[in-house]
Amino acid sequence: MNAPAAVKDQITVAICSYNASHYLPNLLEKLIAQDCPMPFEILIVDNNSTDHTQALVLGFSPANGIPIRYVNEPEQGIAFARNRAIEESLSSRYLAFIDSDEMPAPNWLKSALKQLGDQDIDCVGGKISIALPHRPAWLSDDLLPFYGEVDHSDRAFRITDAATPIWSGNIAYNTRVFRQGLRFDTRYNRRGKGIGGGEDARMLDMCLMRGFSLVYEPDMEILHLIPAEKIRRSYFLKLHYLSGKKAGLHEIPDFNRSILGVPPFMILQFMRHFLLAVDMAVKEQSGSLRQAMNASHALGSIWGKFLCWKNQPLKS
């Protein structure tokens, strides 16, 4: 039996990328310029990109000699790409995730290591600010968290429940949690340029359930660049429909009373949300989009429960 590999005192910074070569040069420059007290490497997990991601990464020559590794993950989807990053980083003491459409503050890694230097801390996540190409009047502040915005406090604190989440686009782990078998749940996968997923929310839940020590560190800040195609009401409706669908598939239990696998109360719940959303839209009331998102989530949950019923094995 092979002995486990020694753990290096370094941090691996993983970028899971799909057709995002237009973002990578600026991100790589920001990363190699990090003020970081520990040696670090950059790992690009290319999830079957069809652009010139591979050529760009392999041809990139950082002036300060920061190692850049490139791997291709053939299984399509963000959960599989993140899990490949974990496998590639188990020999590093720490693993940080940042998305290709994000820009880190100059002290991003230093701020993460400030918390991870405490051996009791398993995971640290930080502030996520949003950069919008334009902002229509309907895009209210309460919708920004659905673009990943995180701004819990100006002070660091321990996270004890999912009410103050940290997301996988700005997070760092002590890799000991992954050597215990922790991985992203591939049932909550997101493929290619799709939206939704939920693998990071599920990871947060698993970390909390296992009793890991999680910290929010506001100085660990990144800027999330939102593309113009996401500045649409339909984006929020689709996002909530897919979230509801996965809840119906994987989270909502079965009930004795159901119609094609869907409990009647879920149908009534959708109808209430839908009628209220229509009434608010007709009256041009504020919050009508948020109410429509509730209806979309309820509809997705119904579809998820129906798919569970449809796909269940026949009883002999």
Give tens-digit pLDDT for 152-188: 999 999 999 999 999 989 999 999 999 999 999 888 8
313 confidence band (pLDDT: 50, 70, 90): low
Cross-strand partners of 11: 40, 94
Tell me if 149 is assigned to some domain: yes
Tell me if 316 is assigned to some domain: no
Tell me if 108 is assigned to some domain: yes
Higher pLDDT: 190 or 73? It is 73
% the chain with pLDDT above 90:
85
E-strand stretches of 134-270: 157-159, 170-174, 214-225
**Are 211 and 246 contained in the same domain?**
no
**Are 257 and 274 contained in the same domain?**
yes
Tell me if 209 is assigned to some domain: yes
Token couple for 270? 């959708």
Q: Which of 230, 257, 284 is the last residue of a domain?
A: 230
Tell me if 164 is assigned to some domain: yes
- Residue numbers of the domain that contains 90: 8-230
How much is the pLDDT for 316?
Answer: 38
1 confidence band (pLDDT: 50, 70, 90): very low
How much is the pLDDT for 197?
Answer: 65
**Are 18 and 117 contained in the same domain?**
yes
Tell me if 176 is assigned to some domain: yes
pLDDT at 2 over 50: no
Token couple for 220? 């660990």
Tell me if 3 is assigned to some domain: no
- Amino acid letter, 13: V
**Are 161 and 196 contained in the same domain?**
yes
Q: Which of 202, 230, 258 is the last residue of a domain?
A: 230
How much is the pLDDT for 221?
Answer: 97
pLDDT at 63 over 70: no
Total domain count, the chain: 2
**Are 144 and 23 contained in the same domain?**
yes
Q: Which of 205, 230, 255 is the last residue of a domain?
A: 230
Distance, in Å, from the CA atom of 151 to the CA atom of 137, rounded to the nearest integer, reads 22
For residue 9, give the 3-state DSSP assignment.
strand
Round the average pLDDT of the chain to a whole number and report it: 92
Distance, in Å, from the CA atom of 89 to the CA atom of 84, rounded to the nearest integer, reads 9
**Are 171 and 254 contained in the same domain?**
no
**Are 93 and 148 contained in the same domain?**
yes
**Are 103 and 32 contained in the same domain?**
yes
Tell me if 46 is assigned to some domain: yes
Task: Please list, residue by residue across 183-221, b when 16 or more beta carbons sit within 10 angstroms of its beta carbon and e when fewer do.
Answer: ebbeebbbeeeeebbbbbbbbbeebeeeebbbbbbbbbb
**Are 36 and 105 contained in the same domain?**
yes
**Are 208 and 177 contained in the same domain?**
yes
**Are 173 and 200 contained in the same domain?**
yes
Across residues 103-118, what is the average pLDDT?
96
**Are 39 and 175 contained in the same domain?**
yes
pLDDT at 301 over 90: yes
Closest CA to 127 of 153, 108, 94, 151: 151
